[in-house]
Amino acid sequence: MAVPAVAPRRLEGLDRALPVWVAAALALVFLMGLPLGWLAWMSVSGESGFTFRHYEKVVADPALRRALWNTVVMAFWVGLASVAVGAPLAWLTARTDVPGRGLIRALVLASFVTPPFLGAFAWVMLAGPNAGLLNRLWRSATGAEAPLLNIFSMPGLIFVVTIYTFPYVYIMVANTLALIASDLEEAGAILGAGRLWVALTITLPMVLPALASGFILALLQALALFGSPAILALPAGFHTVTTQIWSLFQFPPKVEMAAAFSLPLFLATALLLAAQKRLLGRRGYAAVGGKGGARRVIALGRWRLPALAACLAVMACAIFLPYGILAKAAFSRAWAQPLTWSNLTLKNFTFTFFEYSATQAAIVNTLELGVLTATVGAGLVALLAYVTSRRLVIGHQVIAFFALAPVVIPGVVLAVALFIAYTRPPFLLYGTLWILFIAYLTKEMPVGYAQADATFRGIPTELEDAGRILGAGRFRVLRDVTAPLARSGIIAAWCFVFIGVIRELSASIILFTPSTKVMSVVLFDLKEEGQFGAIAVLGLVMLALTFATVALVQAVLGRDVLGARD
Amino acid sequence: MLMRSLLAVFIILSLLPTGEAGAQTPLVEAAKREGKVVWYTSLALPSAEKVAKLFEAAYPGIKVEVHRTGSQRILQRVMQELQANIKNVDVVHTSDAGHFVLLKDKKLLARHTPAGVERFPAGFKDKDGYYYGLRATVNVIAYNTQKVTAAEAPKTWKDLLDPKWKGRMVTAHPGYSGVIATHVLALVHLHGWEYFQALARNQLMLVQSAVDPSGVVASGERPVAVNGGEYTFYQSKKQGNPVEIVYPKEGVPLVVSPTAITSFAPHPQAARLFTDFSFTREVQQVMADSEGLYTGQPEVKYPADKPKLTDLKLLTAEPEELEKRNEEIKKRFVEFFGA
């Protein structure tokens, strides 16, 4: 009797694990293994077999070396500037009595979800050295000849990328501050330290890991960005790695060189993320952890209003000014002229929606891909996160690792890999929406997985155990206990993926074909032709879609999406 | 706007009774069964959409799918798609005549001679009958009249090398635009690569499309454009923007933009109908009137405030040479201008 009693249990375990493993392995092969394998192979394959020629050419080409150096410079400064902006903002909203904290958080969120290329485009209209609105105001106010700002420059690029990247630092720091009790800070204050001294010598060291990892996240964002350098760096006559990879696809295409040039970006990203993981994984900070202990609000006194003004100044750069100029351009005949009656028009709207035939198809494609990717993605991450958080199968850590792994693949690199893998038999997906679907699913998986994982970890297993003890099977418990509790978290994951998809440019720009254009690609096409009015209109549509989705998440979660608050 | 719509209606009406348009010829029938034509075009977006709308109005039931991008991007797209065995495009129209030499060599074009083109000038016709010039423009200098006076404006290509223009000029890109690739080759013939090397020292703003410099100059972002399709400046000027055009005395690079049907066209009949339509005198006249383009059609009348092609000293670039030196043009330009 003992033998048959053991056998079915083993079999049960096997049954459960097998489909999950097969599904995970298949997804892995199609989403990552095949494309990255092709990428690596392409980078070392010559006409007569194995060769390092492409790498030699990449290293030898001064233009490529310059692009690499520009990227390093840009990403480093973006990381630093993001810390300089994001950390104080996080401290102000998390710890002080600066007025309008809720508003500031909402605006940081708005900057977080604004497609960076739209911001870059708006800043062309604001700070183009001659026609830019701010420069014209500056000239008429001071009578100066020289422009105040030149957005077509390395500092300009760093500035624009930073104002949409600092939220990564903000989130890391604000969420850490929310976990640090004020005891130590109060002890310092009792011992006679001033507010600034306390902040510098006690709070700062405690959030240092968060700062460092925020720095790395910001740097990674900057590394992978395509739209902003294409809009701001190319007119100034310099390339970054992403724009350079993209231009290697020009006819005659140099896909092998693009592959060889993609690998440094991929390796840099992987190394940086490993560094970030180490930083966060350190357990040396006993004060961080748990939510015990009170967090005292620091009174700013007469610094309240200046602090608010500083926050709003950042937000003016990221939100008010760019959104304002986009709205103005959408309703103007000539964007650089004042908005008078004679300059007012709805023509940009009629042109964009009714005369420009690519728009409607692109909006439909974008929405289709958004819904499809978000739905499949949310289902997939829910399954994976459930399996891994409940440790249902052997090797669940491996599954978790691979669900998060795509973070290390920048969009352009992923696109190059997918292009190579899926423009040839047996999987001819180029030219269909499916190749974009695979790109988006891979790219958004980590975000969705992180959200779903947090959701399942937040649901106490006691409730499930109670259900099991009362005799319900695992599926019944899943249906009646876990699923209702997890629902809002999974809907949030759906929304995150959806927002990520509708703004995606860096992979789409390489993978689209004319019949599979998406909104971001159409925006980029319009940019290359200088159709400012139509860009503004379509940009506003994209923003409206994004904010509608954000509002949905907030309603579902009952809190803002930036992370833990109380 | 209203005038343009009226004009469009007028043109359609004038086409219906006389031209082939109204008649239900076998070609029209066959084209209608195919239902659409896919057009990869480098014609400026509003102009391309207008031609498409005219066609759709003349032949209800046949849709034109317009995919507008730069000439070089179109070639890239066509070749990329073929590599993946995608047969999507029916009609290819770019401003880099070299592309058509390449496509013809690779047997990717179908022979088709639209009615009436036999009377076009020689520069508009392929001797083997594969491609024909749909439209033409010239590259010019343009300036913003609010920022630059007529007296100080550059008069010749060499004037642009003056250091006083440093940081004040814009150029479009031969890696994107066929108009500009042709321009670069023509000026290399005239002044050599040293000219571009010297020009780059004036730190130009780089845009992509040959359409874009007119917008940049009109907004005043850079007061002087060192190239760009003359028709885009002309349109901008007509819309009341402070733009003036200079036709340099050394000559202006002529850009004839060919169109051809692909050998693998999924809608070959609609492609023929569309190509024939675009070469009718009426459509060619629209291009001259509202778009400010030149055409090869001998009866087309041009606006009185535009110089005739015959009055200009034209610099030409041979399609074969454009094809051969395509990569060199792009590479050296990037070398000098940085991106």
Confidence of residue A426 (pLDDT cuts 50, 70, 90): confident
The reply to whether residue A525 touches residue B69, judged by beta carbons under 8 angstroms, is: yes
Q: Indicate whether A367 pLDDT > 90.
A: yes
From A351, which residue of chain B is nearest by alpha-carbon distance? Answer: B46
Binding-face residues of B in 65-104 toward A, CB within 8 A: 65-70, 72-73, 75-77, 79-81, 83-86, 88-89
Q: Does A515 touch chain B (CB under 8 A)?
A: yes
Do residues B118 and B11 share a domain?
yes
The reply to whether residue B86 touches residue A128, judged by beta carbons under 8 angstroms, is: no
With a pLDDT cut of 90, the percent of chain B lying above it is 89
Q: Mean pLDDT of all residues in chain B?
A: 93
| Higher per-residue confidence, A318 vs A210 | A318
Residue B319 forms part of a structural domain: yes
The highest-level CATH class for domain A64-282+303-334 is: mainly alpha
What confidence score (pLDDT) does residue A317 get?
97
What 8-state DSSP symbol labels residue B106?
T
CA distance B142 to A466: 79
Burial class (CB in 10 A: 0-12, 13-18, 19+), B57: middle
Do residues B30 and B65 share a domain?
yes
Residue B305 forms part of a structural domain: no
Owning domain of residue B71? 2-135+256-299
pLDDT in tens, A318-364: 999 999 999 999 999 988 888 889 889 999 999 999 999 889 999 99
| Higher per-residue confidence, B199 vs A514 | B199
What confidence score (pLDDT) does residue A9 get?
46
Exposure letters B90-102 (e unless 16+ CB within 10 A, then b): bbbbbbbbbbbbb
Q: Indicate whether A168 pLDDT > 70.
A: yes
Is there a contact between B137 and B256 (Cβ–Cβ < 8 Å)?
no
Q: Does B194 touch chain A (CB under 8 A)?
A: no
Residue B274 forms part of a structural domain: yes
Residue B7 forms part of a structural domain: yes
CA distance A322 to A421: 39
What 8-state DSSP symbol labels residue B38?
E
What confidence score (pLDDT) does residue B92 get?
98
CATH assignment of the domain containing B283: 3.40.190.10
User: Where are chain A's structural domains?
Assistant: 1-41+352-566, 64-282+303-334
Confidence of residue A17 (pLDDT cuts 50, 70, 90): low
Confidence of residue A3 (pLDDT cuts 50, 70, 90): very low
Identify which of A236, A250, A529 has the shortest CB distance to residue B211. A529
Hey, of B105, B197, B202, B221, which one would you mutate to test binding to chain A, going by the most A CBs within 10 A of its CB? B221
Do residues B248 and B270 share a domain?
no
Confidence of residue B11 (pLDDT cuts 50, 70, 90): low
The distance between the two most distant Cα atoms of chain B, rounded to a whole number of Å, is 62
| Higher per-residue confidence, A508 vs A176 | A508
Q: Indicate whether A427 pLDDT > 70.
A: yes
Do residues B219 and B292 share a domain?
no
Residue B131 forms part of a structural domain: yes
Do residues B11 and B22 share a domain?
yes
| Domain formed by A1-41+352-566, architecture | Orthogonal Bundle (1.10)
Report the number of distinct structural domains present in chain B: 2
Q: Does B188 touch chain A (CB under 8 A)?
A: no
Q: Indicate whether A5 pLDDT > 50.
A: no
Within 10 Å of residue A316's Cβ, how many Cβ atoms? 14
Mean pLDDT of all residues in A188-210: 85
Do residues B242 and B284 share a domain?
no
Mean pLDDT of all residues in A165-185: 87
Residue B306 forms part of a structural domain: no
pLDDT in tens, B89-142: 999 999 999 999 999 999 999 999 998 899 999 999 999 999 999 999 999 999
Q: Indicate whether B2 pLDDT > 70.
A: no
What 8-state DSSP symbol labels residue B140?
-
Do residues B202 and B95 share a domain?
no
CA distance A387 to A394: 10
Identify which of B72, B81, B167 has the shortest CB distance to residue A513. B81
Are the folds of A1-41+352-566 and A64-282+303-334 the same? Answer: yes
What is B199-263 written as a DSSP string? HHTT-PEE-SSTTHHHHHHHHTSSSEES--BHHHHHHHHHTT-SEEEE--TT-EEEEEEEEEEET
Is there a contact between A422 and A429 (Cβ–Cβ < 8 Å)?
yes
- Grouping H, G, I as helix, E, B as strand and the rest as coil, residue B124 is helix
Confidence of residue A11 (pLDDT cuts 50, 70, 90): very low
Binding-face residues of A in 227-246 toward B, CB within 8 A: 233-239, 243
ipTM of the complex: 0.89
What confidence score (pLDDT) does residue A201 get?
87
pTM listed for this prediction: 0.91
Q: Indicate whether A181 pLDDT > 80.
A: no
Binding-face residues of B in 254-313 toward A, CB within 8 A: none
Binding-face residues of A in 288-347 toward B, CB within 8 A: 333-336, 347
The reply to whether residue A63 touches residue B334, judged by beta carbons under 8 angstroms, is: yes
Is there a contact between A423 and B79 (Cβ–Cβ < 8 Å)?
no
pLDDT in tens, B173-221: 999 999 999 999 999 999 999 999 999 999 999 999 999 999 999 999 9
pLDDT in tens, B264-297: 999 999 999 999 999 999 999 999 988 899 999 9
Is there a contact between B292 and B231 (Cβ–Cβ < 8 Å)?
yes
Burial class (CB in 10 A: 0-12, 13-18, 19+), A51: middle
Taking one residue from A and the other from B, the number of pairs with CB-CB distance under 8 angstroms is 133
> What's the start-to-end Cα distance of chain B, in Å?
38
Residue B88 forms part of a structural domain: yes
pLDDT in tens, B39-50: 999 999 999 999
| Shortest Cα distance, chain A CAs vs residue B217, angstroms | 9
CA distance A522 to A539: 10
Question: Which amino acid is located at A467 in the chain?
Answer: G
With a pLDDT cut of 70, the percent of chain A lying above it is 93
| Shortest Cα distance, chain A CAs vs residue B286, angstroms | 17
| Shortest Cα distance, chain B CAs vs residue A419, angstroms | 10
The reply to whether residue A237 touches residue B223, judged by beta carbons under 8 angstroms, is: no
Residue B23 forms part of a structural domain: yes
Binding-face residues of A in 75-104 toward B, CB within 8 A: none
Q: Enter the tokens of residue A139.
A: 């000239």
Do residues B197 and B94 share a domain?
no
Identify which of B64, B67, B205 has the shortest CB distance to residue A152. B205
The reply to whether residue B38 touches residue A351, judged by beta carbons under 8 angstroms, is: no
B156: alpha, beta or left, given left = phi > 0 and alpha = psi -120 to 50?
Answer: beta
Question: Which amino acid is located at A213 in the chain?
Answer: S
What confidence score (pLDDT) does residue A176 get?
85
Q: Does B221 touch chain A (CB under 8 A)?
A: yes
Least confident of A154-163, A296-305, A340-349, A410-419: A296-305
The reply to whether residue B219 touches residue A253, judged by beta carbons under 8 angstroms, is: no
